[in-house]
Amino acid sequence: MTARATDARRAAVLGSPIAHSLSPVLHRAAYEALGLTGWSYDRFEVDESTLPGFLKGLGPEWAGLSLTMPLKRAVIPLLDEISETAASVEAVNTVVFTEDGRRVGDNTDIPGMIGALRERGIEQVDSAAILGAGATASSALAALARICTGEVVAYVRSEERAAEMRQWGARLDIEVVTADWSDAAEALRRPLVIATTPAGTTDALASSVPERPATLFDVLYDPWPTALAARWSAYGGAVVSGLDLLLHQAVLQVEQMTGLAPAPLDAMRKAGEHMLDAR
C-alpha cells in the first residue's frame, strides 16, 4: 500500500497514560509535509483490558497504530505476525494493517535508537553502559547488539533485574556484565552511556560526569535537559535525547503505515521541538 493524498485513512497512538504523548504532533506534521490531507492521527487511552475490544472495533480505514506502555507486550497475542526485531525483545510498538486485513507488529524503537545515534556520527562502539533495566533497557541492548563490538555493563538496583539483563544479553547474543546501581558513576567513562531510567533517577550522577565525556543517550525528553544531560553538554560531550529517539522511531512508523519514504524528519523534529517549547 502506498498512501494517496485523497485517502481517508486513520492512525493513532494507544497507551495509558497517553495525554502526554508527542506522537500525534510528529505524525500529523509528517502527513502535512507529505501532502496526505485525508489522513488523521489521534491518541486513545487504552490499557491491557480494553485493548482487545479497541482492536476489534477498528474498520478498514485504519492504516496503523503506535503503541506505548503498557501495551507493547500485551498486543502480541492479538496480532497475526510480528517481525524478528519485535520478537527479539518481545515488544511491539508499531502495528500496520495490511490490505488483506492482517495485523502485523514491529518494533521501531530498536532501529530508531540506531538511527538517532547514526545521525550524531555514532556508527560503532567498542563498549557501552546501560543505566536501568526496564523495557527500554532491553531495546537498548538489542540496538547495542548491532553496533557494540565489546561488553555492555548494565547498572541495576537488584539481583533480579541483573539476572533479567544477563538473560536478555544471552538471548540477543551480546556480552552483558551487571553492576550495582551504587557504582553507576563508573558508567560515565564508557564510550556510550544509555540512560533508560525515569525522570530524576540519574540526577545524582551529574556531579560525576568526567571532564571529557564521550556520548550520552538519555531516553527522556520532558523535562529536558535532564541534570545529567545538561552537565554532559557543559563538559563538551555528545548528547542524544529522547526526542531524537521518538523522532527516528516515528519516522519508521510513518514510512510503514503510509508506504512513503523517506518520511520528513526535519518537519517532524521542528513540530516536536515547538510543542515541547510550548509546554
Of the candidates 257, 245, 213, 269, which has an alpha carbon nearest to the alpha carbon of residue 114?
Answer: 245
In this structure, are residues 202 and 131 in contact, taking their beta carbons and an 8 Å threshold? yes
Q: Measured in whole angstroms, how far is the alpha carbon of residue 1 from the centre of its chain?
A: 25
Residue 93 DSSP symbol: -
The SS3 assignment for 273 reads: helix
> Catalytic residue at 72?
yes
> What is the total residue count of the chain?
279
DSSP string, the chain: ----TT--EEEEEEESS-TT--HHHHHHHHHHHHT-TTEEEEEEE--TTTHHHHHHT--TTEEEEEE-TT-TTTTGGG-SEE-HHHHHHT---EEEE-TTS-EEEE--HHHHHHHHHHHTT---BS-EEEE--SHHHHHHHHHHHHHB-S-EEEEESSHHHHHHHHHHHHHHT--EEEEEGGGGGGGGGSSEEEE-SPTTTTGGGGGG--SS--EEEE---SS-S-HHHHHHHHTT-EEE-HHHHHHHHHHHHHHHHH--SS--HHHHHHHHHHHHHH-
* Catalytic, out of 10, 27, 28, 72: 72
Which has the closest alpha carbon to 40: 62, 56, 21? 62
Active site residues: 72
